[in-house]
């Protein structure tokens, strides 16, 4: 089978070379990947809705209201069984997993990732897990894109771009927001914004949205229209909302990683399920709106129907008091990220995109209600407008994607008249949050391990360089006990180089001798047996250790030592030299390869 696939790939490569340019084929692949991403989005959404309909059907209708908080635990258990006994591999967390593949695996994703999230995410969310479907959809599309790129022998730059196309296609299909989807791919995956990269992203986004229109019609996740106009006197409140959004963003990230760290210390998958599942069930029992993705809650808040958003809960008797309502909305902000983290910590498969929108809508809605019921405004704030802008503020802070936040909310809600407040709140939230947390929730873990290169082009190129390929070994080494005569006869005469490494009997680098060091005495034959190498050598400015030094460390050593050549050791033994000129040449070549 593998041999037949390889032959087919080779035959297609020959046909492609004869009939299509690389640019034309890239355009074709981007449209194809957009179509596939659209199919993935439709499949994941429909599977999730089908499971939800089963749980709300006749055979559980009598028990659903009383025991539905148990469903997430059942979904997490089924997900765990699939992963442990079916896939037998860790799926990872959607977008961070994709970023890791780009950073450390040259955009190569494992084949099982093409279907892993497709199987497990609908079960997690369909049974009420408090996570979103966006990240699994992006990861599935990205994996299919990566493996298609490998099949068609695309280079690393094209492979990375096509992964971005899959991300744009997935988001375009899920939200029917093609412009925001393109910006999402650029901001989250740090793609180069050029005409060459923009056209494939555009094709993928359009192809995906057409696919989802064909299968699901004009239904959209967030169904609302802008009804209230932006008023200039409300600018201070949008500024204040941006500050609050930044505080909520910092809270979100800290709680998310703190709970993840707690679960990472638990080695048993069963114990994770037990602790996370039971805790999640209790939380959902006390706060029912935390059940599932929460888009029904968001839509109710956008319609200013906070009673429907809060649903049936233990505080029903007190909902005629607006301050109780405000306190409950604040509780949604506080506990949604806890529910999301428990779902993922217990082994669920999902993402944080929907929870971010959930928290943002509750935050904006709660903020507007507080201001309106404080009694110091003659003209009340538009609760729906602040609900929309709150989502953008939280997205900008948590995901470090202010442009995505602005355009997504504008496209979702047809709220282009809100561009100014969206820009104000998103910019302030992003600026304040980035001062305290330089990395987004997607990149923080990778950055802490030094594995994030997608958002730093220079570091990406340095990381991808193969240092062993630039090591030069055509140097004549000298023993530390050799004489000046040995240097002349065994070194100068036999080597075209103007410096020589000095080694001991165990091939440890002891120093170097430059031709300039021996020039004053090299023609005085009477000194050939008197002067020893150890008297002429000098210490190497720096030594490169292949087992300890990263490419970034090597560049730093060249910069600090101002040397043009540095010796290289592996397992403490000398193996050659690296020249600054050859290293810079390799850097330039790699930069060309990875730049689209």
452 belongs to a structural domain: no
Residues linked to residue 569 through DSSP beta bridges, in sequence order: 545, 574
For 202, the token pair is 């555009």
pLDDT digits (tens, 9 = 90+) for 475-533: 888 888 888 787 787 777 777 777 888 888 888 888 888 887 777 777 777 777 778 87
One domain, residues 465 and 414: no
Domain shared by 489 and 430, yes or no: no
Question: Same structural domain for residues 195 and 301?
Answer: no
**Whole-Å CA distances, 466 to 150, 390, 458, 566, 590:** 21, 46, 15, 16, 10
Q: In this predicted model, which residue has the larger pLDDT, 227 or 334?
A: 334
In a domain, 226, yes or no: no
Range of the domain at 44: 2-216
Comparing 459 with 294, the larger pLDDT belongs to 294
Same domain for 48 and 162, yes or no, is yes
- pLDDT exceeds 70 at position 440: yes
Identify whether 159 is part of a domain: yes
| Domain boundary residue, one of 398, 418, 445 | 445
**Residue where the block lists tokens 């959004």:** 245
311 plus 389 within the same structural domain: yes
Q: Rounded distance, CA 189 to CA 5, Å? A: 30
Query: How far is the C-alpha of 357 from the C-alpha of 279, rounded, in Å?
Result: 23
Q: Are 541 and 563 in contact (CB under 8 A)?
A: yes
242 and 371, same domain (yes or no): yes
Is 470 part of a structural domain of the chain?
yes
Is 453 within the bounds of a domain? Answer: no
Q: What pLDDT sits at residue 422? A: 93
pLDDT digits (tens, 9 = 90+) for 291-347: 888 888 998 898 888 888 887 777 777 778 888 889 999 999 999 999 999 999 988
Joined tokens for residue 369: 């209600």
State pTM to two decimals: 0.78
* Distance from the Cα of residue 233 to its chain's centroid: 38
Whether 436 and 475 map to the same domain: the answer is: no
What confidence score (pLDDT) does residue 596 get?
47
> Which of residues 159, 183, 216 is at a domain's end?
216
d(CA 420, CA 426): 10
Asked if 45 and 128 sit in the same domain, the reply is: yes
Q: Identify the weakest region by mean pLDDT among 52-56, 459-463, 545-549, 588-592.
A: 459-463
- Identify the pLDDT of residue 304: 85
In this prediction, residue 565 carries a pLDDT of 86
pLDDT digits (tens, 9 = 90+) for 546-589: 888 877 788 888 888 888 888 899 888 898 888 888 888 877 77
Is 77 a domain residue?
A: yes
Task: Taking each helix axis as running N to C, give the angle between helix 322-345 and helix 269-286, from 0 to 180 degrees, rounded to the nearest 10.
Answer: 170
The alpha-carbon radius of gyration of the chain (Å, integer) is: 30
The angle at the Cα of 34, spanning 31 to 38, to the nearest 5 degrees, equals 145
Mean pLDDT of the residues in the chain: 84
Q: Name, in order, each residue with C-beta under 8 angstroms of 386's C-beta and a sequence gap of 6 or more.
A: 237, 238, 241, 364, 365, 367, 368
Q: How many domains does the chain have?
A: 3
Query: Quick one: CA dihedral 460, 461, 464, 465, positive or negative?
Result: negative
CA distances in angstroms from 360 to 95, 396, 410, listed in the order given: 20, 10, 15
β-bridge partners, 472 = 577
Same domain, 248 and 119: no
> What is the distance of C-alpha 454 from the center of its chain?
9
Flag whether pLDDT at 216 surpasses 50: yes
> Domain containing 473 — which CATH number?
3.10.580.10
| pLDDT score of 453 | 52
Residue 416 phi/psi, 5-degree rounding, is -65, -20
Residue 227 belongs to a domain:
no
- Same domain assignment for residues 103 and 189: yes
Mean pLDDT over 265-275 rounds to 90
Q: Does residue 286 share a domain with residue 413?
A: yes
Query: 589: burial class by Cβ within 10 Å (0-12, 13-18, 19+)?
Result: exposed
* Residue for token pair 């297609």: 12
CA distance 207 to 400: 27
**Which CATH number goes with the domain that contains 258?**
1.10.3080.10
Residues 135 and 170 in one domain: yes
**DSSP line for 546-570:** TTT--HHHHHHHHHHHT-SEEEEEE
| Assigned domain for 225 exists | no
Of 183, 216, 249, the last residue of a domain is 216
Q: Is the confidence at residue 591, as pLDDT, over 90?
A: no
Output phi, psi for 558, to 5 deg: -65, -40
Give the model's pLDDT for residue 243: 96
Q: Is a pLDDT exceeding 60 seen at residue 48? A: yes
* CA-to-CA dists, residue 145 to 107, 186, 509, angstroms: 10, 16, 47
């Amino acid at each position: 089978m593998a041999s037949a696939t390889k032959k087919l790939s080779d035959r297609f490569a020959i046909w492609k070379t004869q009939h299509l340019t690389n640019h034309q084929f890239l355009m074709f692949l981007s449209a194809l990947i957009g179509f596939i991403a659209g199919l993935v989005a439709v499949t994941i959404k429909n599977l999730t809705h089908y499971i939800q309909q089963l749980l709300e059907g006749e055979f559980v209708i009598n028990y659903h209201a009383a025991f539905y908080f148990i469903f997430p635990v059942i979904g997490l258990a089924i997900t765990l069984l699939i992963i442990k006994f079916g896939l037998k591999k860790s799926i990872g967390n959607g977008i961070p997993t994709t970023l890791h593949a780009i950073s450390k695996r040259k955009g190569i994703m494992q084949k099982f990732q093409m279907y892993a999230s497709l199987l497990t995410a609908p079960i997690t969310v369909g049974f009420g897990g408090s996570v979103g479907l966006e990240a699994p959809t992006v990861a599935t599309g990205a994996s299919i894109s990566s493996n298609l790129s490998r099949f068609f022998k695309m280079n690393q730059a094209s492979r990375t771009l096509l992964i971005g196309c899959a991300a744009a296609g997935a988001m375009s299909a899920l939200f029917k927001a093609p412009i925001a989807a393109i910006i999402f791919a650029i901001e989250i995956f740090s793609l180069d914004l050029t005409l060459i990269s923009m056209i494939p992203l555009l094709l993928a986004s359009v192809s995906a949205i057409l696919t989802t229109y064909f299968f699901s019609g004009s239904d959209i996740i967030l169904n609302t229209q802008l009804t209230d106009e932006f008023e200039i006197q409300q600018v201070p409140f949008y500024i204040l909302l941006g500050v609050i959004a930044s505080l909520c963003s910092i809270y979100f990230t800290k709680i998310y990683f703190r709970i993840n760290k707690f679960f990472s210390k638990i080695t048993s998958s069963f114990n994770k399920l037990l602790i996370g599942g039971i805790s999640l069930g209790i939380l959902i029992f006390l706060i029912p709106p935390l059940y599932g993705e929460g888009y029904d809650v968001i839509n109710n808040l956008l319609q200013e129907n906070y009673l429907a958003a809060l649903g049936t809960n233990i505080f029903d008797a007190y909902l005629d008091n607006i301050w109780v309502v405000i306190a409950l909305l604040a509780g949604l902000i506080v506990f949604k990220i806890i529910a999301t983290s428990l779902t993922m910590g217990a082994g669920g498969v999902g993402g944080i995109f929907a929870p971010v929108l959930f928290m943002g809508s509750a935050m904006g809605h709660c903020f507007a209600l507080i201001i309106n019921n404080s009694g110091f405004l003659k003209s009340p704030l538009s609760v729906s407008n602040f609900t929309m802008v709150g989502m953008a503020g939280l997205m900008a802070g948590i995901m470090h994607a202010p442009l995505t936040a602005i355009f997504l909310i504008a496209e979702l809600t047809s709220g282009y008249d809100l561009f100014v407040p969206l820009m104000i709140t998103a910019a302030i939230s992003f600026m304040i949050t980035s001062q305290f947390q330089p990395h987004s929730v997607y990149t923080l873990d990778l950055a802490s391990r030094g594995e994030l290169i997608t958002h730093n082009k220079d570091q990406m190129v340095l990381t991808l360089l193969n240092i062993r390929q630039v090591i030069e070994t055509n140097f004549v080494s000298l023993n530390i006990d050799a004489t000046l005569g040995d240097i002349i006869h065994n070194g100068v005469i036999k080597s075209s180089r103007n410096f020589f490494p000095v080694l001991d009997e165990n091939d440890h680098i002891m120093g170097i001798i430059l031709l300039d060091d021996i020039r004053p005495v090299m023609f005085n034959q009477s000194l050939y047996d008197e002067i020893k190498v150890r008297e002429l050598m000098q210490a190497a400015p720096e030594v490169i250790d292949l087992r300890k030094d990263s490419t970034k460390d090597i560049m730093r050593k060249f910069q600090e030592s101002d040397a043009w050549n540095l010796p290289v050791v592996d397992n403490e033994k000398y193996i050659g030299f690296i020249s600054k000129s050859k290293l810079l040449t390799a850097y330039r070549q790699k930069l060309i390869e990875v730049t689209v």
